[in-house]
Structure 1
Amino acid sequence: MDAITRVFFWVMDLRRFRYVLLADFVVFTSTAFVDFWLAEGEQAVTSLLRLAIGFINLAAWVEIRRHLLSKPQSYRQAWQFRPWEFESAVAGQASAIPVLLAPFWIEFSGNFHDPVDVGVLIIAGYLLFYAAAVSMGAIVSHKSSLGVMWGVVVALLPFVGITQFWYAAIYKPTHERPRVNTVGEMELVRRHDGLSEMLGTVAVENVGEAEIDVLGAVYTVTVHDMGPSDRTLSDARVREALEKHRATWDDESKFRGLIKTGRLIRNGGHLTPGQKFKTSFAFDVKNRPAKKLRLTVFLALANNVGDLKKFTECCPKPNNSYSCFQTKLGSPTIIRHVLGDGPTARISFFPPSKGVHVPYLRTDFLPLDWNETIRDDPRPGVNAIDPFRTSRGVTSSFEYRLDP
């Protein structure tokens, strides 16, 4: 037997392996109980799965302990014991592989890795090594034969783990995006003394299948000059308008000012499937020829995957912003809470700038310890911080022409 094989069987000695089983039991059951408190919806399935895996590994520890007590062996003969000769050990280790892969997927999909993250990955890697080694040993060893009961466990639990992970990490973010219908209108109530009394209305309806967190919901009413009706856009202006990567509402109408703004839904509010929110507001504007009003609705939305924390003022506050609030996004599981870099949503309302000629709402997703005054890293997207988080920004614009 060569040296590598001897080292492998020394590492896989049952006397050492039984402590791995205990570690599996402690890790899986403790995180499962924590997630029973944190989890909502389909995440509870993961908690039940981990709890089952933990107790299967505990049963394997009991079986191996009895074997060692009944057949004491010298240290030199310890390498002859194979963990994969025990059905409960094979079932527990094979079932653990999909769950132990999740921390690596979560961590390497993000941009920030601190010492705590590294420590968690070392523990997961240590347990994953034994799980993979025992599973492979069961496949290649002619001494391993599973009974019907343990065969069903080995076939079912990993399948459930992979299926649930696929649903939460891939299918749900793709198919359950925040979906809303936004309707806005402005109508003239009356004119007098050179003023137009206006009434604005905004309605927002959740037409998707998931509950939506409202990170920000702001409306603005702005005044713009209108060009002569017989004015034709030059080819250069047409190309400029259509080739821009971002709409700036710069359609030959000069921005004159912001005359009305407000918050539609409080930061941290929710819209359940089918729920509709509607509000109206009154404002006055001077009658002037060749003028128009533009009602713009800015929405920053995210699928609900955990309670939002309290919104606080941003520190540091982005330059030139009217206002800025931020909140730490909830974590659906304890592993994501530890490895997820503390994803934070920052919602800023900015005045007109050189690139965007109207006020606008901007949402950034940043790690909790982000400090743009000292960091040179590019801003990460929300999926780089939390792949389970599906977000969407919605901007709707409605116009009304003022006649003298």
Structure 2
Amino acid sequence: MNTLLNIETRNAVLLKMAELLEQERAAIMKINKADLDAYDGDDISMYDRLKVDDSKVDEMIKSAKHLASQEDPVGVERFSFKHDNGMQVYNKTASFGTILIIYESRPDVTVEAAGIAFKSGNKILLKGGKESLKSNLKIVELWHQALKSQGASTDWVEYLQFNRTETQAFLEKPTQKLDLIVPRGGERLIAFVKEHASCPVIISGRGNNFVYVHKEADLDLALKVIINAKTAKISACNALDKVLIDKNLPNKEAFIKNLISKLKEFKVQILGDEAISKFEGVEAIVSDAIWYQEFLDYKIAIAEINSNEDTIAMINKYSGGHSSSIITKNDAVAETFMANVDTAAVYHNASTRFTDGSQLGLGGELAISTDKLHQRGPIGLQHLVTNKWYVHGNGQIR
């Protein structure tokens, strides 16, 4: 077992990593181009995630530097208690041990998610997708250089070159100690990990987010939020898929026509319920199953709805438990919506695109969890810890 690296060493490795990413920027992008050229799929969101350009390298560098500047999340006192027999009791945060990150397509995860897990004192096992193998191996090589530069073992970051069968076997019977698994990818990957894992799994990555336009909405604001949440980044799990419009919205028809024409400017395919599909440019929804779907595409489903109560019930039935937003000038209605909608993030008059560790003040995230244990929504550095009891005595017996 690797002994926990002290915080100075962990920070120095992260800063060295930032330096190496800058030095090797051109090489990383060249190697990534080989991965992109070899990608033969037609999934635009997958291609978008796979691509490493200057701004992605900038993000990786920023992430490594930011992590190095953050407080040590390990050994933080959460609770203390003086027993009447004189024992001093503390509860402190502790690292998990070994974390496996299984991910598709995104070479930036090799820096950002691995960096968070490393900073919080864990050994990292990485299992990326075959489509990004060359890019990932190059970045892991940099991790090893950074670790060696500080006299730390390269075992702290290990890349598993497994095919699907080998991955399944490793999940079911790990050949080394494994404390936590974080799958980052689509629903098929997450289902596969959940089915075969023999240790805890943090479930993340499924969106299917809703915006509700209440009858007291500011319509310009509603339009702005919907267009941003839908079109700014379709491959993101915080992108918008569904819009529910209050039946009693004043100027409803003009608003819907305006929304349709704005979405059409971005070449978004629009699906609508009975009320919405009467409008030109909207296809009728043929099955309720559509409400469960996360699109990750230029595609949106819109329906009319009777009330805030109906909206809450519909979101709680169909959404992925990720993000939902209400557009209204009525604070009491917004409060009811936010208290009762069962998603990890709830918004009032803002885009769902902010469900992201760096946007919500965490500096970055390992994943965005739609589970309720042990942390919901973006999982930052300070959440990627477990805890341990420290009890100091001088011979007390019970």
Q: TM-score range by the shorter chain?
A: under 0.3
Select the structure of larger CA radius of gyration: 1
